Structure 1
């Protein structure tokens, strides 16, 4: 197989996002790949706007990135016991694209949150959001990075051996899903 294409989707737009850091660490542990992080800075979904102007070019770009990727890694923060609105908005918009990129796509889901559960509820809800798209979501190991503000060293690597071990295992499973 040629060098695999790995797409990272962070549910946080914040500069220095711990979810973006977790995605970068996942890409590093995945190994040799062409890694791209998606841009979710999209307009809010509005059916009237879609009817008047069609699906925005930025959404079509995201849908094409998903379609072109061999595998996708999604990391979400937890806001009020669920995934971020930014991530839900992106999923809603992509569902409106003619491309329909998610079918049978290998996907690893993870979360990084300040709380002690590490975004476990957000990740569970996100998995439910993905059901209509029918991707191949890996079941584990689950990555719920708790107290995320204290989990990265100065190089952006995970400090905890347990998190590093589990994330390495998850990325190996994702690599196996695509036969790389």
Structure 2
């Protein structure tokens, strides 16, 4: 019996009506058969600090979720031409586990919403981080979404049918990517 692929989705935005979280909410609702998506909550995650001798509960929770995940789905906002600190901070915490065991070798799909070019620059910076962390990003389809082009409603809910289709396609590609890497 095949177990569903467990995907941990992480939004780099902490806003309640975040369009990046809106992308993940849509993905979670539209997950194809064989994929279960859990969305991590980073609101209480402190900045990484090697001086902390005990990991705060928000960190422990994230690390537990990462350990259970077969793959990651990262929604990457763009702040000042780069990735948001909340997303980078989550990856920094995870990378400090022995031998990078929570990230190394894991498949990852990347999407993002932002102004103008829809977080493309930030996503490329995230891909550089993925190289160091030995994550295996899915190359296509890429999901770059302009947050200010009637793509979302006032609550951050994705309403653009083209982007919805890209997300469904990306989830199917992630599913195939996980299966390919398992061989």
For residue 130 of structure 1, what is the aligned residue in structure 2?
130
Does the aligned pair in 2 maintain the 1:59–1:97 contact within 8 Å? no
Does the aligned pair in 1 maintain the 2:28–2:36 contact within 8 Å? no
For residue 174 of structure 2, what is the aligned residue in structure 1?
174
For normalisation by structure 1, the TM-score amounts to: 0.86
Distance 1:154 1:179, change over 3 A: farther
For residue 7 of structure 2, what is the aligned residue in structure 1?
6
Does the aligned pair in 1 maintain the 2:83–2:125 contact within 8 Å? yes
Is residue 2:50 matched to residue 1:44?
A: no
Structure 1 gaps of 5+ residues are none
1:123 Cα offset (Å): 0.6
Does the aligned pair in 2 maintain the 1:30–1:175 contact within 8 Å? no
Distance of 1:20 and 1:85 partners within structure 2:
15
1:157 Cα offset (Å): 5.8
1:74-100 CA-partner distances (Å, limit 9, x unpaired):
001111011111111111111122372
What SS is found at the alignment partner of 1:72?
strand
1:154 Cα offset (Å): 8.0
1:94-143 CA-partner distances (Å, limit 9, x unpaired):
11223721121111011111x11001111111111122221211001111
What SS is found at the alignment partner of 1:152?
coil
Structure 2 gaps of 5+ residues are none
What SS is found at the alignment partner of 1:179?
helix
Does the aligned pair in 2 maintain the 1:10–1:75 contact within 8 Å? yes
1:153 Cα offset (Å): 4.9
Distance of 1:154 and 1:86 partners within structure 2:
23
Distance of 1:56 and 1:2 partners within structure 2:
31
Does the aligned pair in 2 maintain the 1:77–1:112 contact within 8 Å? yes
Does the aligned pair in 1 maintain the 2:110–2:137 contact within 8 Å? yes
1:47 Cα offset (Å): 2.4
For normalisation by structure 2, the TM-score amounts to: 0.85
Instruction: Report matched runs for 1:19-168 at 5 Å.
Output: 19-32=20-33, 33-41=35-43, 42-48=45-51, 50=52, 53-98=53-98, 100-113=101-114, 115-148=115-148, 150-153=150-153, 158-168=158-168
1:59 Cα offset (Å): 1.8
